[in-house]
Amino acid sequence: MTSDDLDPSTPVLVGVGEASERIDDPGYAARSEAQMAADALRSAFEDSGADVAHLAAAVDTAAMTRSFEAMGFGTPLGAPTNYPWAVLRRVGAEPSHVVYDALGGQTPQSLITEMCGRIASGVSEVAVVFGADVTSTTRHFSRGDSASGDVPDFSETVDAGPVDDRGRGTHLVNTRENVLHGLTNAPAQYGMLENARRHRLGVDRTAYLRQMAELFAPMSVVAEHNPHSAAPTARTVEEIATRTDRNRPVAEPYLRFLVARDQINQGAACVLTSVGAARRLGIDPSRWVFLHGHADLRERPLLERPDLSRSPATVGAVRHALDVAGVTMDDIAVMDLYSCFPVAVWTVADAFDLAADDPRGLTVTGGLPYFGGAGSNYAMHAVAGVVRRVRDEPGARGLVGANGGQLSKYSVGVYSTTPAPWVPDDSPDIQDALDAAPGSSSVRYAHGPATIEAWTVHHATGAGICVCRDLQGRRFIAHVCDGDTALMGRLLGDDGIDDPIGTTVFARHVHPTNRIAVSRAVMDRLHPERVPSLTRSFDHVRVRRSGHVCEIGLRGPVLPAAAHAELDEVVTAFLADRDLWVAILHGDGPDFCRGLDRSEIGWGNTAVTPPNGVAGLTARTDLDKPVIAAVAGAAHDAGLEVVLACHLAVASRDATFALDQVSTGLVAQDGGLVRLPPVVGERVAAEMTLASRVLDADEALRLGLVNRVVEPGDHLAAAREVAESVVANAPFAVRQSLRLPAEVAGDADPAVAVRRATNAVDAMTFSQDLLVGTAAVSDGEKPVWTNT
């Protein structure tokens, strides 16, 4: 096939460009991210050989990768009000469709594939993909390294057009458990995977370190000759594998020279057109490069992966891209495998029998530890390098493997100057098959004996972080207890044992994280379990006993983390006290509860509650004594979720009820979304959770959310009346009445549920209170319950 035979809508890559600067460069200009990306995009226009202004004006679609600086965590040097358009305005482009993609190292390749698909479908003719990161400049000025003191200001107000902003996308690569346990740092995350691979192969620490150095040393040689490298220095195997002040430990098993370099100032871009547009714009066919094969696949979240040492999605993406191109790995002449850490390269190399010294080389840039690669745009540099190489060798095929997250997302492109029609890939079907494969179960709150399955030590914080399995085979993340020198020594190899995987430990949830120790005795010494008490002094809770009733007062209108822990202890103590049969929960002030303390809620920090949930109630599975909510004022957000977790509710006429977490960007994650619809009905619940509808007390009574409404100020007295009515009944039978529905919850048919043998009915049948009640009826006397 020749280019003349191609459909005019066939996508073709016609230009690539790069831009960079180093702090110590003579011409260092402290360019902003927008300027760096614009310079790279302008270079890509020039690379096409077309008239730059004419080509820029023809752009109808643009896509920008997202840098670390644009993640919304604060940009100390300022930022544009709109990143993509800050770049597009600089080059004179006015596209009608603009994408600002989520964070992910796979996005340069996935966006190229997406843009090619748009062109092939006819909705676009000229598209650009670009991005940049200036982490080195940002850190340089933020920490006061500038001798002149002239700190640049990168803020600018941009007259912006429409943008399809796909958000930060961090939920695709991180979980709340990762964040709480400090497993958001890439070296620590990959250290887990790396150590799992080492264990699978049975290689000792020293030998594995040398193997990693042997894999990466050839990459540093490539970086030495790349003018855009952040660290253009060739390193020997011995240098990379030897611990020094400069080559310090970062996270086990990595030394610094094995870790992706995030201090860079780099930008890269590419220009894609249809064959018809390329001809119309006068772009010489010698500049044309075709995307022969492509694939985009996702891996499971870390704790769900069947094998932490492997990534089926990564291997599957490479294999499928080769299949779409109609070639094998042997047909590839040049490649760039994403090289943030050795395990990312080995995942592909192991599957396709690629050696560290493969004569084709495993990188065209020099690799992330030496060339550099922060943010999401590294793979665009890989595309630029591969495109230049296949242009120099017409007919040769090049492969780019782009990775995001913790081998979480992998995108692949196979490039060649050989004309080829656009062929869609079958990634969605392959993804369905990957998702259907059995995964691993996990548990959020760990307790009891467990076994280490993967591990790392993050040297900057001194934290030992492990993935473990409990006796049921469920995974969880945990920190090594501070002060457990024996277990930390095991992780670091100080005890002479080379591989800590398989070590038996004892786990305990010590709010807000799971902890592990070498034994239960050590755990009890370092983190002794508090014996729940109702009599000690509390800061956020007031407890009052009155006969068989326990009254629990919330001292403040919002619940900070410390209040949840105190309430959890109080409820646990109440349930364990045989002489307390019912509890009343109320607010000490004008409001019942307005929800969580918002000052404690932030990115990755929404899990402020203990294992039993908000107020020690909303996630509890052992709540077999009645709890009555006495509500005045606002019961909003998590406050309403607490009311829903109670068995009975009395409301003052001034009470209001709302489940409006969505108004502040949150969700009702503590049971409200599940418990509310059966109480008030699906439609009302939907309006409350989606449109922030607020119910007054009378509406709450009519819908069944509360049992009774009383005049303002009388709610606590009314709750006490209800409590005394409960106390008058057999406490043992009351408890079994609460247990029985949970035992038959899986039976949709009431007739089936009634016939089911249950522990609750058996317990009632042989209870002392049944004898007492039966005798009292016969004698005409008031029963004296035993609660047994």
Which pLDDT tens digit goes with each residue over 633-679? 999 999 999 999 999 999 999 999 999 988 888 888 899 999 999 99
Instruction: Return the CATH number at 491.
Output: 2.40.50.840
Phi, psi dihedrals of residue 625, rounded to the nearest 5°: -125, 145
In this predicted structure, the answer to whether residue 56 has a pLDDT above a threshold of 90 is: yes
Q: Do residues 172 and 478 lie in contact, with contact meaning Cβ atoms separated by under 8 Å? A: no
Q: What is the 3-state secondary structure (H, E, C) of 200-247?
A: HHCCCHHHHHHHHHHHHHHHHHHHHCCCCCCCCCCCCHHHHHCCCCCC
Residue 210 belongs to a domain: no
Model confidence at 602: pLDDT above 80: no
pLDDT digits (tens, 9 = 90+) for 436-469: 999 999 999 999 999 999 999 999 999 999 999 9
Q: What is the pLDDT of residue 745?
A: 66
In a domain? residue 198: no
Provide the CATH number for the domain around residue 66.
3.40.47.10
CATH (domain of 578): 3.90.226.10
Residues 401 and 261 in one domain: yes
Read off the pLDDT band of 182 (50, 70, 90): confident
Do 392 and 479 lie in one domain? The reply is no
> Is 243 within the bounds of a domain?
no
Does 485 share its domain with 621? Answer: no
pTM: predicted TM-score of the whole model, two decimal places: 0.90
Residues 736 and 716 in one domain: no
> How many DSSP H helices and E strands does the chain contain?
26, 26
Q: 303: pLDDT confidence band, cut at 50, 70 and 90?
A: very high
Task: Supply the pLDDT for residue 645.
Answer: 96
| 641 found inside a domain | yes
Asked if residue 678 has a cis previous peptide bond (ω within 30° of 0), the answer is no
Q: Residues with Cβ < 8 Å from 14, sequence gap 6 or more?
A: 47, 48, 50, 271, 272, 273, 278, 283, 287, 288, 289
The reply to whether 380 and 331 lie within a common domain is yes
| Beta strands at 541-546 and 648-652: parallel, antiparallel or unpaired | unpaired
Dmax over Cα atoms in the chain, in whole Å?
A: 106
Structural domain count, the chain: 4
- Which of 163-177, 221-235, 609-623 bottoms out in mean pLDDT, i.e. has the lowest? 163-177
Last residue of a domain, one of 703, 727, 751: 727
Residues 359 and 488 in one domain: no
Q: How far apart are CA 420 and CA 274, in angstroms?
A: 12
483-509 mean pLDDT: 94
Model pLDDT for residues 734-766, shown as the tens digit of each residue: 888 888 787 766 666 666 656 666 677 777 777
- Shared-domain flag, residues 595 and 459: no
Residue 395, pLDDT above cutoff 70: yes
Q: Which amino acid type is present at position 523?
A: M
Reduce the DSSP state of residue 297 to 3 states and report it. Answer: strand
The answer to whether residues 337 and 472 belong to one domain is: no
Residues 55 and 129 in one domain: yes
Residue 446: the pLDDT is: 94
Whether 128 is in a domain gets the answer: yes
Q: Looking at this protein, which amino acid is placed at residue 164?
A: D
DSSP, res 596: B
Q: How much is the mean pLDDT over the chain?
A: 92
| Whether the Cβ atoms of residue 258 and residue 241 lie closer than 8 Å to each other | no
Q: Higher model confidence: residue 155 or residue 768?
A: 155
* Calpha distance 39→132 (Å, rounded): 10
Q: Which helix (H) or strand (E) holds 716?
A: helix 715-727
381 in any annotated domain = yes
329 Cβ contact list (under 8 Å, min separation 6): 318, 322, 352, 354, 399
**The domain boundary residue, chosen from 422, 456, 479:** 422
CA angle 368, 372, 377 (to 5 degrees): 90
Last residue in a domain, options 503, 526, 549? 526
Instruction: Tell me the two tokens of residue 576.
Output: 């364990």
Residues 562 and 453 in one domain: no
Specify whether 414 is located in the same domain as 477. no
Please give the helix or strand (H or E) that residue 292 lies within, else none. strand 290-298
51 and 158 assigned to the same domain: yes
506 within 8 A of 450, measured Cβ to Cβ: yes
Q: Domain limits at 405?
A: 3-179+257-422
The encoded tokens of residue 100 equal 């600002």
For residue 143, give Cα distances in angstroms to 130, 146, 445, 534.
28, 8, 39, 50
Q: What percent of the chain has pLDDT over 70?
A: 94
Q: What is the DSSP string of 45-65?
A: HHHTTS-HHHHHHH--EEEE-
The percent of residues in the chain predicted with pLDDT above 90, rounded, is 77
Which tens digit of pLDDT belongs to each residue from 337-358?
999 999 999 999 999 999 999 9
Spell 162-184 as b/e; 16+ CB within 10 A means b.
Answer: ebebeebbbebbbbebbbbbebb
Mean pLDDT of 766-774: 74
Q: Over the stretch 76-115, which tens digit does the pLDDT of each residue have? A: 888 899 999 999 999 999 999 999 999 899 999 999 999 9
Q: Kindly state whether residue 232 falls inside one of the protein's structural domains.
A: no
Q: Count the alpha carbons within 13 Å of 749 in the hemisphere toward its beta carbon.
A: 4
89 domain-assigned: yes
Return all residues near 6 (Cβ < 8 A) that are at least 6 apart: 275, 419, 421
Give the model's confidence band at 387: pLDDT under 50 very low, under 70 low, under 90 confident, else very high. Answer: very high
